Structure 1
Amino acid sequence: MSNELVINSTQKGERIALLQDKRLLEYHVEEPDHSFTVGDIYLGTVRKLVTGLNAAFVDVGYEKDAFLHYLDLGPNINSLNKFTKDVISKRANSGKLSAFKMEPEIEKLGKIDKVLVKNQPILVQIVKEPISTKGPRLSCDISIAGRYIVLVPFSNSVNLSKKITDKQERTRLQRLMSSIKPANFGVIVRTVAQSRDVEELDKDLQNCLEKWEKGIKLLRDAKPRDRVIGEMNRASSIIRDMLNESFDSITVDSKDVFEDIKSYIRTIAPDKENILKLHNGKNKVFEQFGLEKQIKSLFGRSVSLPGGGYLIIEHTEALHVIDVNSGNKSNSEEDQEATALSVNSEAAKEIARQLRLRDMGGIIVIDFIDLKKADNKRKIHDVMREEMKSDRSKYTVLPLSKFGLMQITRQRVRPEMNIVTRETCPTCGGTGTIQASILITDIILNNLDYILTKQNESRISISLHPFLHAYFTKGLISQQMKWFFTYKTWVSLIKDSSLGVVDFTFHNKFGEVIELNAQ
């Protein structure tokens, strides 16, 4: 099983695609001015205490105050508040906690007005990005994620991932981390730390401590709403969490992003540096990997299954509903039960993929095709659990109910990825009537003639829909070849599935868009 990461830089930010065996598994869009990312640590101000909710609303600079519940304060909130106060007042000069006197832990079922007061400065971490009409969700149980470990200030415990099942390895990691971690810092050991030696784990620990130290230096002069410690960008966090032996390619099309990721990989896994590639081909990187077509086909209301069935996916404010249909599934199986089992198994695999792809969270209800045998219902439940194992979000999968419904809860920490796949006709603007679209070839030819003869451009290229690309390049003496004989210069044609059938863009030799004056 191979994992590939493809990163396309645009004016609006980075588009990040994670592929597994050439199939799109995760898709993220990272905007350059996007703030309040999961993991960011801010200096906030308590604006309001709501005792009925046992929660506080905290100003971190978002248009709506962020939500902080008592259960998210963490047991050592008093120690954090004391240390924050010491740093802001310049009584503490560094992030070291070895000489810091810890405060008693708070009660598990206490009241928030006994811990916080209005207008007090507080160090908080984003645990859920702003979604819909809600502001960010916060926690005071601060943690800093590394590649192999998660550093937890104001704690002394060493916890291991539940996915590390080998008893001997658990004992080794427990003893190792207990011996190298500083005082008053806790550690959570991640699954990828298995079989790693002390040198690698210690290096990761020092990197986390350095990040904490830099944040505390910024905190000394920070103003309310300032970000003190920023989580790395989405591409780097995916690499940090998933880079392993099965990761065999990272392709980017921006020199700056290439250098950033190269230096990061050199820090965490120097042996993997050679898998990073800079794309400089004629076609766009997403076009090269066939991703534009996958994105258009996978984010619609209806999603096709390989065997002929299909899914209908509906999103509401309260939950997501997925209906499984057999479609034109051939009846090659023995009976209706076998057909239903086959379609449901395919659907379970695709649904697990769709949850990651769209980053769907909250409650998901799946209406599978009815199965009569209890054994077959168990098989569908097992398939879904197996397919969800590689999901990095927290989730719960319940068995099929009496009515053939499966309920899944999946942690939602950022807005769901939603891409509009129904396009408004670029010619008619949705009115349903168009002029003769065949004229598009004449329009392109007129613009080409104007640019090459009146503007004296050379080495130009045209991005256009694959249908138009085929029209201009087909045949032994194609239209593209005729242009060469006429204008004595070669015009490059670039397929771009993201464009409409009658859309096109001219580029000069530097790749800049040429403004068109002739039609």
Structure 2
Amino acid sequence: MPKKMLIDAAHAEETRVVVLDGNKVEEFDFESSARRQLRGNIYLAKVTRVEPSLQAAFVEYGGNRHGFLSFNEIHPDYYQIPHADREALLREAEEEDDDHPPAGAVDDEAEAAATENLGGGDDDDEVDEEIARRRQRLMRRYKIQEVVKRRQIMLVQVVKEERGTKGAALTTYLSLAGRYCVLMPNTDRGGGISRKITAVTDRKRLRGIVTDLDVPPGMGLIVRTAGAKRTKAEIKRDYEYLSRAWGNIRDTTLHSIAPALIYEEEDLVKRAIRDLYDKDLEGIWVEGEAGFREARDFMRMLMPSQAKKIQAYRDPTPLFVAHRIEDHLAQIYSPTVPLKSGGYLVINQTEALVAVDVNSGRATRERNIEATALKTNLEAAEETARQLRLRDLAGLIVIDFIDMDEAKNNRTVEKTLKDCLARDRARIQMGKISAFGLMELSRQRRRTGILEGTTHICPNCQGAGRVRSVESSSLAALRAVEMEALKGGGEVIVRVPRDVSLYILNHKREFLTRILRGHGLFVSVVIDEALAHAEHEIDRVSNVPHEVDRSVEAPEPAGYADVEIDDAALDQDDEQAEDEEDQDEGGEAIAVAPAADEGAAPRRA
């Protein structure tokens, strides 16, 4: 079915991008002006603290929190060691590189065979793999406190977004991603070819192109998967674009004072064209004039021959509404995802992991339980892979498939999930289905997830998804009053929500009276609509204990004392009775006191 890319840039506050395969949403990304992506940005930063216990440094780069810079992410050029030692270190690294050639020089057949076991992942992720061995060797030779000092200036790049209380993860090994190439300005690895390009003829042709580019010493270049069928002119134009960007970064750095933003990663419109565009797309429709001009100009610069595919959408009906996208996106906020056969997924995100539960639901059309379980699990595998991309679920993910008796069915489900995950641009490690029907996998976090980026913690449940019952909330408030009474008598004001106050005054008057009689603590219950369901506040307004006549019996559980009425009281006129009734009507704040000598009713605050 035809594929198309839709870009909603009608509102400056938020940009959304969707890739449609027929009527199904295959890719979704968004960016908010209030929360711009940091990943890929380059900063001139200053070391604020070196932490030997973590073998890491905390740096000030201009973000909301200090960034985290692990020792193995610090380039040897920043080591505070004698120049001769640094030169010897670099020579040793070059000699080792001769013994261990880069990815681009590996035998093509061996490289192609190795790709069978690789999961998804970006081509620029190979940068980490290429230099990981060298970093580990440096860490064994030095300690961070020996070579990095406080207030030291470094050029760093964000590799992981800020999240919760954690600052951004940084590196000094820089990389600039283009459409067809990844330029590594300070990583001397020569030229490399993406491992996803498995055709021997393509690899040989691309290696010749990279050699002709004459990449300067001290820099590295990797040809991305998108460049597999591209001409030398197209790859050269992309490389020259990245080289100019690096030149601008160097010039800006020389005229900046840390902390400062040196280079900002492309916005979502440009990133979508750079990373998601392929020849199978029949067109790119952009809503919003500013977004359309930006997309058209970027495509003309990046791929001039494809600029005609950029189309402006000016229909009165919103772009996503016309293609019925809004309903699909609304489902992302729901933990339940329906399946074709009648089954469904339940997706729950926790601090430790993401749990995906597969349920058969109304799926009862198959001839037996095993067939029903297999069909539902296969549908769940395909839908789970899609939901991981749409929601950008990352970290440890556990899928609870429906139990199946035959081992071959488990292998079938595993293969289906593996094939579906191969289209994912994030790095993924996948296990096998265990005896308990569980499959574990880990997925790289590429961006802020839609739930994290567009929602906040519920003020009522504090993110738990459930609230305490009225009875439980009332008892929690009363226990707090009881603890306050142990500090001594006096007077306190208890502020609680309306339903909690009604429960206390209707069912717990005896308890409050007992507090007053036993501790001399007078309690006023006040309704506070601003409080969440399970919240309460206690304010002490007096430390002077209340004196209580202990000869008077405590009131009945209903909260009213038995009062003996003389027969003469029945002869009082109606006016006096009405006055007494008016005194019994109260407001929202009611102070509960014990029965007095004359059978007094509850006192008003």
TM range (shorter): 0.7 to 0.9
Residue of 182, 196, 199 corresponding to 1:166 = 199
Cα deviation 1:237-279 (Å, max 9, x = unaligned) = 1211222211222111111110111011111222222221211
Cα displacement (A) at 1:108: 4.2
* Residues 1:272 and 2:306 aligned together: yes
- Partner SS state of residue 164, structure 2: coil
State the alpha-carbon separation in 1 of the partners of residues 12 and 263 from structure 2.
26
- Partner SS state of residue 216, structure 2: coil
State the alpha-carbon separation in 1 of the partners of residues 2 and 425 from structure 2.
17
- Across the aligned residues of Structure 1 and Structure 2, the Cα RMSD in angstroms comes to 2.3
* Residues 1:144 and 2:176 aligned together: yes
Conserved? CA contact 2:65–2:167, under 8 Å: yes
- Partner SS state of residue 382, structure 1: helix
The residue type equivalent to 2:261 in the other structure is R
Cα displacement (A) at 1:400: 0.5
The residue type equivalent to 1:379 in the other structure is T
State the alpha-carbon separation in 2 of the partners of residues 336 and 11 from structure 1.
52
1:229 corresponds to: 263
Cα displacement (A) at 1:299: 2.8
1:464 corresponds to: none
Residue of 344, 348, 361 corresponding to 1:310 = 344
1:430 corresponds to: none
The residue type equivalent to 2:423 in the other structure is S
Cα displacement (A) at 1:204: 0.7
Q: How does 1:114-513 map to 2 (within 5 A)?
A: 114-154=146-186, 155-180=188-213, 181-331=215-365, 333-418=366-451
The residue type equivalent to 2:444 in the other structure is Q
**Alpha carbons of 1:35 and 1:60: their partners in 2 closer, same or farther (altered >3 Å)?**
farther
2:6 corresponds to: 6
Q: How does 1:59-78 map to 2 (within 5 A)?
A: 59-74=60-75, 77-78=78-79
Cα displacement (A) at 1:366: 0.4
State the alpha-carbon separation in 2 of the partners of residues 116 and 35 from structure 1.
30
- Partner SS state of residue 171, structure 1: helix
1:29 corresponds to: 30
1:51 corresponds to: 52
Residue of 138, 155, 176 corresponding to 1:107 = 138
State the alpha-carbon separation in 2 of the partners of residues 25 and 134 from structure 1.
30
Conserved? CA contact 1:57–1:66, under 8 Å: yes
**Alpha carbons of 1:399 and 1:205: their partners in 2 closer, same or farther (altered >3 Å)?**
same
- Partner SS state of residue 372, structure 2: helix
Name structure 1 gaps, 5 residues minimum: 83-103, 424-519
Cα displacement (A) at 1:33: 4.6
**Alpha carbons of 1:75 and 1:168: their partners in 2 closer, same or farther (altered >3 Å)?**
farther
**Alpha carbons of 1:188 and 1:114: their partners in 2 closer, same or farther (altered >3 Å)?**
farther
Cα displacement (A) at 1:78: 4.9
Cα displacement (A) at 1:215: 1.1
Name structure 2 gaps, 5 residues minimum: 84-133, 459-605
State the alpha-carbon separation in 2 of the partners of residues 381 and 107 from structure 1.
39
State the alpha-carbon separation in 1 of the partners of residues 200 and 276 from structure 2.
24
Conserved? CA contact 1:39–1:126, under 8 Å: yes
Cα displacement (A) at 1:414: 2.6
Of the two, which has the highest radius of gyration? 2
**Relative to structure 2, which stretch is displaced further, 3-12 or 143-152?**
3-12
Cα deviation 1:156-203 (Å, max 9, x = unaligned) = 422221111122322222232123122321111111111222111111
- Partner SS state of residue 340, structure 2: coil
- Partner SS state of residue 414, structure 1: coil
State the alpha-carbon separation in 2 of the partners of residues 385 and 335 from structure 1.
26
Cα deviation 1:214-250 (Å, max 9, x = unaligned) = 1111111112121111110122112112222112221
State the alpha-carbon separation in 1 of the partners of residues 76 and 20 from structure 2.
40
State the alpha-carbon separation in 2 of the partners of residues 235 and 16 from structure 1.
8
- Partner SS state of residue 107, structure 1: helix
Cα displacement (A) at 1:77: 5.0
Cα deviation 1:54-105 (Å, max 9, x = unaligned) = 11111111221111111222466559x99xxxxxxxxxxxxxxxxxxxxx98
- Partner SS state of residue 203, structure 2: helix
Cα displacement (A) at 1:378: 0.6
- Partner SS state of residue 50, structure 2: strand
**Relative to structure 2, which stretch is displaced further, 172-181 or 39-48?**
172-181
**Relative to structure 2, which stretch is displaced further, 141-150 or 14-23?**
14-23
Conserved? CA contact 2:313–2:319, under 8 Å: yes
1:492 corresponds to: none
Which structure has the highest helix share of the two?
Answer: 2
Conserved? CA contact 1:44–1:60, under 8 Å: yes
The residue type equivalent to 2:346 in the other structure is I
1:42 corresponds to: 43
- Partner SS state of residue 450, structure 2: coil
Give TM-score scaled by structure 1 length.
0.73
**Relative to structure 2, which stretch is displaced further, 188-197 or 384-393?**
188-197
2:586 corresponds to: none
State the alpha-carbon separation in 1 of the partners of residues 258 and 354 from structure 2.
37
The residue type equivalent to 1:269 in the other structure is M
**Alpha carbons of 1:336 and 1:356: their partners in 2 closer, same or farther (altered >3 Å)?**
same
- Partner SS state of residue 229, structure 2: coil
State the alpha-carbon separation in 2 of the partners of residues 364 and 22 from structure 1.
27
Cα displacement (A) at 1:295: 1.2
The residue type equivalent to 1:177 in the other structure is V
Give TM-score scaled by structure 2 length.
0.63
Cα deviation 1:358-411 (Å, max 9, x = unaligned) = 011000100000011111111111001100111111111111111110111000
State the alpha-carbon separation in 2 of the partners of residues 179 and 286 from structure 1.
45
State the alpha-carbon separation in 2 of the partners of residues 392 and 76 from structure 1.
31
Conserved? CA contact 2:17–2:272, under 8 Å: no
Conserved? CA contact 1:130–1:414, under 8 Å: no
Cα displacement (A) at 1:11: 4.1
Cα displacement (A) at 1:205: 0.6
1:506 corresponds to: none
